Amino acid sequence: MAEAAAWNRFAHWARFPARAVLALVLAALALAAVTPIAAGEGPAKPPSLVSAGPARERDEDLKLYGDVIVRLRHGENYYAVIADEHRRHNYPLHPGFAVRLPTLAVITSLLPAGALIPLSLAMLGAVLLAMLGAVLLAWWRRLGEEAGGADMRLLAMAGLFFGASLGTTRYFFVLHELWAGQLLALSFALHRPQRGKWVGAWLAAAAALALREHSLPFVLLMAAFAVWHRRWKEGAAWLALIALFAAAMVLHLHTVAGYVRPDDPPSASWLALRGLSGWLSLEVLSSNLRWLPPMLAGPLVLASLFGWSGWKSPAGAFGTLLYLGYGTAFMFAGRPDNFYWGFMATPALFIGLAFVPQAVRGLVSAAFPVQQR
């Protein structure tokens, strides 16, 4: 137990702050249990909402991306196609952030002819399955090198598989967030600067950023950690990636603006201000928690964050800020029909569940210390 206590963050806290955090955690879990999980216009029924069954009609977003890929296979220009398909599917073209970056559609269109037929799906599935294997292997190694990680490795890997395995669901293959979220989980695992290993993490994060701009918070946090710890070379690399992305995004927005017509309607605001329901809904519906009753699924999201916060290690600190940051953003941004945004955070989120028992034990022992006689 002495070894476990060294990486148990809360076990070393003073009594008053430990009691305050314990009360906060209990209140948050109770609130999460009664918070509605919502998608579209009303409360979600998760299994029917995101089931990958063969009889399910594809959501409009997925139809749009599939139709774009089909046309790109015939040699059409991405921006001309995306503008036409947005109008045909009644999607807005401005602001330009409503239009996805071309990376995933262009790459997918290079697969053998016949978009979204079994052969293409099999190839996409093989890539995502290989990525899942890479994520699992990378995290197995990182957990073995982190304080307390080796002790909790089997449970942590179970949590990781629970979160990341949804990435192999065929129904979601055309979603940019699915791919970007898996790449961010891989980048997180590959980032071991104490061993001089961060280039692989940089490459994986760069690929995620090329797919979806929602990866930017992850890259900003990586840059902040590198600068904070005075890893100047690494920090410069992350800042350079941010600059490259900014330039690419300016070009993307400028190109999209050239296709906008005066009669094109603007996008509805993404600032939905949904509060805790927004946070929990996006992450529950973008994970295997969607199969559980909301009164269990919601608290498990917050429990995962609590587990990360109790793990006193570089990974624990980064994971706490990362998932708290995405969760806070989801409280303010993201409409109910944007449930798939949660894919950005869920693949590695549930690693935190492995550290919940020790975090609870440490917090309770700090809040109510046993008096020595």
Gap between the Cα atoms of 8 and 39, Å rounded:
37
Residue among 167, 174, 169, 170 nearest 70 (CA): 174
Gap between the Cα atoms of 14 and 199, Å rounded:
39
Gap between the Cα atoms of 189 and 112, Å rounded:
32
pLDDT score at 169: 84
pLDDT score at 40: 58
Before 95, cis peptide (omega within 30)? yes
pLDDT score at 53: 38
- Eight-state DSSP code of residue 43: E
Q: Per the structure block, which two tokens stand in for 116?
A: 């979204």
Gap between the Cα atoms of 154 and 6, Å rounded:
20
Gap between the Cα atoms of 25 and 269, Å rounded:
32
Is the Cβ–Cβ distance between 143 and 150 less than 8 Å? Answer: yes
Is the Cβ–Cβ distance between 170 and 121 less than 8 Å? Answer: yes
pLDDT score at 191: 97
pLDDT in tens, the chain (373 residues): 344 468 999 998 999 999 999 999 999 999 999 999 986 544 444 443 443 333 344 567 778 888 898 899 888 999 999 999 999 999 999 999 999 999 999 998 887 754 444 556 677 778 889 999 999 999 999 999 999 999 999 999 999 999 999 988 888 888 999 999 999 999 999 999 988 899 999 999 999 999 999 999 999 999 999 999 999 999 999 999 999 999 999 999 999 999 999 999 999 899 989 999 999 999 999 999 999 999 999 999 999 999 999 999 999 999 999 999 999 999 999 988 888 999 999 999 999 999 999 999 999 999 998 754 3
- Which residues on adjacent β-strands are paired with residue 192? 197
Q: pTM above 0.75? A: yes
pLDDT score at 118: 52
Residue ranges of domains in the chain: 2-49+57-367
Cα 87 from chain centre: 29
